[in-house]
Structure formats: C-alpha cells, structure tokens
Structure 1
Amino acid sequence: MLKRRHGSILKRHGSDKRRRGSSSSSSLSVELELLPHDVIELILERLPVESLRRFRSVSKKWISTIDSPRFQSRQLNLRRQSRGHDLLFVAYYEDPPDNVAQHALGSSSSCIYRTVKFPFPNVLLCYGSCDGLVCFFCIHTPNVVVNPATRWHRSFPFSSLQRRIIDKGPPFGSNPIYELGFGKDKLSGTYKPVWLYNSSEFGLDNVTTCEVFDFSTHSWRNLVASSPYPILRFQKPVYFDGSLYWLTDCVETKVLSFDLHTETFQVICKAPFADDAPLPSNVVLFILDDCLCASEKTWPTQVIWSLDSSSKTWKQMCSIDLTNTFPLFDRCGLMPLPVAILEKNKLYLHGRNYLEPLMLHDLNTKSFEVVSTPTTPGDCIYYFESLCSV
C-alpha cells in the first residue's frame, strides 16, 4: 500500500511540475508531511537533486535528512540504477565572461543543455566525475572540487608540482605536462586529489613522485613509496572502483593502479596494445559500461578493449573505422575519446581538439550521428547528479 501511495505521489509530482513549475514543490511537501518520516525518506531518495535542494527549506528535520551522508549515498545509488548517467559538457574560455567558468549540463538521452556558472575562472578538468563531483586544476588559479548540481564548490591549494612549474615561469607549455587524478577511498569515504609525475623531469631523485591532498588538514603530502615505473605523460588518470589508473612509460606498457585506501601502487596487467612503446597521444584509458577500458589509434582504426577485473585479461569491445569520422575529428590529432555507452550498443565519442563534436556511434550498424557541436572548446564527461560534497 505504501509503495503504491508514494509511487502515485511521485508520478503526480512529475506531472504537476511540468504543468506548474516550482509551485509543485510546496504541494508535494504538504502531502509528504502527512506520512511517517521513514516513508518520507524513501520518497525523497527518488527525487532529483533540484527538487531536494528546494525541499531543504521545509523544516530542520528535512535539512538534517537530506544533508546526511547516508541519505545522499542512497539517493545517488538509486539515481544510477533508475536513470543511468548523463553527459556533462564543461566549456573552456580564453577570457571567461565576468571571470566565471561555464558548465553546461545535459542529458545523454535528450542532449538538452543548460548552463551553470561558478565564481572562478576556467581551469583544466580531471577525467570523469566521482559521485557527482568534478575536480578542476590549473597553474594560474587554485584547484577546486565542484558539485555542478548543487553549485557547491571548495578550493584547495597548489601542490609542490604546480609550484615548481610556477617558479620556473613561462612559457608554461615548455614544462612537462601531467594531469591531476581525483577519486574516492571507498572504505573511509574520503575524496583524494592525486598528482603522479616522473621525478627526473623536475631534477628529483626518485623514479616518480606522488602527492596526495588531505581535505581534513587542507594540505598536500608526499608519499614515501611511489610508483616504480615512469608514467606516460599527457594522459588523464582514470578513477574506477576505489583506485586511480595510469599507463607506464617503459618498454612494455603496463597498467598501473593506485589504491586510494592503502595508498599503494601495483602493476595489474600489461596493456593490450600491439606496439611495445605507443605514442602517448595514440593511447588512452577510460571507463565504459562500468569497466576499465583502453584504446589505441593506429590510423585508420581505433580499437577499444575492456578489462575483466577478475582475470585481469583484456577483450576487444569494438573497432572504430576513423575514416567515417574524418573530417569531423582531426585525422592527425588526438583520437576521439569514448565518453559513455548506452543500451550496450550506443557509444558516445567526443573530439579532443577544440570544437570537435559529440558523436553517437551505433556498434551494431557501424553508423555515426552528430549529437551536438560545441560553440566553444571544452570537455565532455560521464556524470551523475548528486548531493555530495567534500
């Protein structure tokens, strides 16, 4: 009976919202107040973030419920199960209007985007999102973690790596290029930005240097035991299931993992690439369909593999004929980055050079469709709306 009742309330709320806009929130809150609070929680968990932000104003009890980590975790998990992920497009500007960054949020099914502004200038983006949080970094401005759905954000200071690059001064393009990683310790629930870079390029003695940011102390710390292998530059560390992943820069390319709980490195397997020493611009790690994946471009083909986490073996997911995407994607530049896969056969690809489009590739028919073309340079990532913060 209760299930039918709160199901009808949710259905009615959805139709009312389309008819009357935000006024439906107050009517729904009145209806919910008539129910036991544990039932109210079950209903609230199934609502979108935008509605929950408004419902925080109902009462102190509702604020306490919506702001609790347990509720936020359940709401995020239910959204993942019922809706799946969206695509988040982050637009970059050389000279941001009003000194703000713009982030366009859109559904991967409808591709209808709205713009969200934050009070900090544009910066570079870590790979993907973690529990609805995205992390930005730059040499010119402080690093920041953002929840685009709630507008919450928190900045954190430069690492030693960033300070070294700043001290060397411009041109910044002459410095070795590394990317910041961002993920979550699944056991403690803490989020961690991580830098990993080859030490010799900065006059240091170890093979690599690893810096981890601690939000509780608001400071960076160096790990004593870092990776025993140098890593490929120009790659974004990929977060998946409690670990960050890189590709190593050695004779035989390997996949390197960093457990965010134990803070230890481990080589988990050899990369599936045919070449022993691939060009960094031709290989990439990413997440598709809840699997760690790798891709290599050998013109005119881009091959995608997925990793079996139990056996640590690779299987080929698909092969893309890049001649079908040229000239929409730069033939001589970076290969398109797989962003998300839907319905097991709909693969979203996003160009990595300036204004290249977001495309939908049907793995069964091998057809391509332009979904949207950005009007400004930016990155497209998979994304889940959440209430989470650090």
Structure 2
Amino acid sequence: MHLLYDRPVAHEGRGHRKVYRGQSATGRHRSFPLSNYQDLIIQRLKREGGSDFPWPSLGFGRDKLRGTFKPVWLYNSSGFVLGGDVVTYCEVFDFSTNAWRYVVPASPYPINAYHKPVYLDGSLYWLTECDPPMVLSFDLHTETFQVICKAPFAHPPDPRHITMCILHNRLSLSERKDLTQVIWSFDSSHKTWKTLCSFDLNPTFSWICQEEVASLLPIAILDKGQLLLQGRGSMNPLLIHVLHNTSYDLFCRPKIPSGSVYYFESLFSAFSNSLI
C-alpha cells in the first residue's frame, strides 16, 4: 500500500490535482478531492506567483482500534490569514464520506512546517515552533492533540537543522550542529530522551553539497550498526554510515530530481476492497 499526492500548482488547468491511495498487491487505486488547505495553497500561488515558503506535508496513519486509515493535514494560519495570532487548522479525510472535515480544536501550538509528520503506533507526530520545540501527537482514533514532551535541544537558528523520524520503532529526533549531527531516541516509558549516536558530516560532502544546511534524514538502522541516511535535496543520494568505524558508503543516487519514499512496516495490513 502507498499514498501519493501532488502538490497543487497554480498553472491554468492544473489546479485540480488530487491525492491517490493505492494498493500495491492489486494495482488498484483511489483518488480523493483537494482539501481546503490545498485550495489555499493554489490561491496563494496564483496571488504571489512563487513558492518560497514551507509546505506542510500530508500525514498518514492508521486508527489502531477501528483499522481505518486517515490522511491528515495540519497547518498554520500564517501565510493565509492576515493579522491576528497564528493558529493551526487540522483537516482529516474520511473515506466513508469521500470528504475532508475539520478537527476542532487543532494543535495548541504552531507547527514547524519544514518537517514531515511521522506515524507510530496509532498516532501522528509533529514538532512545534516553540522555544524549546515540543513534540505534538495526534491520536488517530480519538482525533485529539497532546503535547508529549519537550525536544532535547533549544530552538534552532534554522528550522531545517532538525528532523523527526522513527528508528527501531521509537520516535527519534535529530539535530545538526555545524558539522556534527546528533540523534536522540525517545523512551516513552520514562518520557526521556537518550542519545542514540552522533556522526561527523565532513565525509558526506563527497556526495552532498557542503552548502546544504538541512540535517540528513535518518531512514533506518540496518544490520551490523549501519545507519541509512538521505540528503534533503531532490538529487541527494542515500548513504550508509557504519557507526562503529565512522565510515560512509554510497548506497544509491537518483538519476532525476525526486522525493523520498518511506517504508512504514506498522502500516502494512490487508485492505478491504470496499476502500479501494
């Protein structure tokens, strides 16, 4: 199963792009309509003619109790609503009605729109723009938001210096400080962060531009202490970092500009034909 979506564009005749949910085993797919957020993006692109602003990413996860899947948009009002305090809006797609609906109340804090939400054990997670940043969860069954904890670092000078991921089935955060990147793993039982590893970024400049300011995205921890990493640019390669000897190897390099493809083992399940 995979979920794909096209970012809306403002060119004539191309403002109708939809989201697609497909089932790899059958090759079947289902499209669903634009959300209100995507309509706002289209209007902003038409008005300003550019896209020099962060694009919140679509969250996707499974309600563990009902077994249903839910696409979720969470976004800040800044950039769309003039004046006043920055608030957040949350839209959830309901496959039974084929429509988006608002969840109220939404997040109590503005989110960091530079990062993709991650899914773990029935909830989606975001980072907030607070100082220090906080980890925000959205329970896909109750559809409620909750602040889980503070991040293990202060508010970064550049929001692209931090990233969120899932490693060893645990929520993890990573921060780039100059030429070093640190990864923390969250212990949900004790509500504490533990340093998982840190690594020198200098050797990566053989494959990734040194002027790249964003932290590398940890994808997975492989066998024998190998860490799979990816640069954030559309042409950046996948790298394997061997933790015990600090070496790096090139895993693969895209031939054309492309985005990331993420694998969520916890989302694998059989789909009923009625949803496709």
Same fold per superposition (TM over 0.5): yes
> Aligned-pair distance for 1:143?
1.0
Deviation at 1:188, TM superposition (A): 0.6
Query: Which residue number in structure 1 is paired with residue 55 of structure 2?
Result: 177
Q: 1:223 to 1:325 in 2, by over 3 A?
A: same
Q: Which residue of 191, 194, 200 maps to 2:69?
A: 191
Q: Is the 8 A contact 1:135 1:182 kept in 2?
A: no
Q: Give 1:239's aligned residue.
A: 119
- 2:79 aligned with 1:201, yes or no? yes
- Equivalent positions of 1:279-358 (< 5 A) are 279-333=158-212, 334-343=214-223, 345-358=225-238
Match of 2:41 in 1: 165
User: What is the distance in 2 between the residues matched to 1:263 and 1:344?
Assistant: 39
State the alpha-carbon separation in 2 of the partners of residues 172 and 240 from structure 1: 34
CA distance in 2, matches of 1:383, 1:183: 9
**Which amino acid is 2:271 matched to?**
C
Q: Distance in 2 between matches of 1:320 and 1:382?
A: 24
Name the counterpart of 1:133. Answer: 2
Q: Which stretch shifts more, 192-201 or 258-267?
A: 192-201
Q: Which amino acid aligns with 1:388?
A: F
Residue 147 of structure 1: CA displacement? 2.9
Q: Secondary structure at the match of 1:324?
A: helix
Equivalent in 250, 258, 269 of residue 370 of structure 1? 250
Q: 1:243 to 1:329 in 2, by over 3 A?
A: same
Larger radius of gyration: 1
CA distance in 2, matches of 1:262, 1:181: 16
Q: Distance in 2 between matches of 1:176 and 1:237?
A: 14
C-alpha RMSD over aligned residues: 2.0
Conserved in 1, the CA contact under 8 Å of 2:133 and 2:150?
A: yes
- How far the C-alpha of 1:382 sits from its partner, in A, is 2.7
Counting only pairs closer than 5 Å after superposition, residues 252-263 of structure 1 correspond to structure 2 as 252-263=132-143
> 1:381 aligned to 262, 266, 269, which one?
262
Conservation of the 8 A alpha-carbon contact between 2:110 and 2:128: yes
SS in 2 for 1:382: coil
| Aligned 8 A contact 1:147 1:387 in 2 | no
TM-score (norm 1): 0.62
| C-alpha separation in 2, matches of 1:184 and 1:306 | 22
1:359 has 2:239 as partner: yes
**Preserved CA contact (<8 Å) 1:329 1:336:** no
Greater RCO, 1 or 2 (C-alpha within 8 Å, sep 6+): 1
Separation of aligned partners in 1, 2:141 and 2:197: 33
Task: Tell me: CA distance 1:343–1:247, structure 2 relative to 1, closer, same or farther (3 Å).
Answer: same
SS of aligned partner of 1:164? helix
Aligned to 1:219: 99
Percent of aligned pairs with the same residue? 50
Deviation of residue 318 (structure 1)? 0.6
| Residues 165 and 172 in structure 1, CA contact (< 8 A), matched pair in contact too | no
Give a deviation string over 1:28-82, Cα, whole Å, max 9, x none: xxxxxxxxxxxxxxxxxxxxxxxxxxxxxxxxxxxxxxxxxxxxxxxxxxxxxxx
> Is the alpha carbon distance of 1:383 and 1:212 closer, same or farther for their aligned partners in structure 2, counting shifts above 3 Å?
closer
Q: Is contact 1:229–1:248 with CA below 8 Å preserved after alignment?
A: yes
Q: C-alpha distance in 2, partners of 1:192/1:198?
A: 20
**Contact kept? 2:90, 2:102, Cα under 8 Å:** yes
More helix by share: 1
Alpha-carbon distance, 1:133 to partner: 2.9
SS at match of 1:325: helix
Structure 2 gaps of 5+ residues are 10-16
| Cα shift readout 1:137-178 (whole Å, capped 9, x = no counterpart) | 421421112234432221111111111121234324045521
1:142 corresponds to 2:18: yes
CA contact (8 A) 2:156 2:162 kept: no
Could you tell me whether the CA contact under 8 Å between 1:196 and 1:210 is conserved in 2? Answer: yes
Query: 2:241 and 2:271 mapped to 1: Cα distance?
Result: 32
Give the 3-state SS of the residue equivalent to 1:302 in structure 2. Answer: strand
Whole-angstrom distance in 2 between the partners of 1:195 and 1:220: 10
Residue 134 (structure 1) shift: 3.0
Aligned partner of 1:114 in structure 2 is: none
> How many pairs does the alignment contain?
258
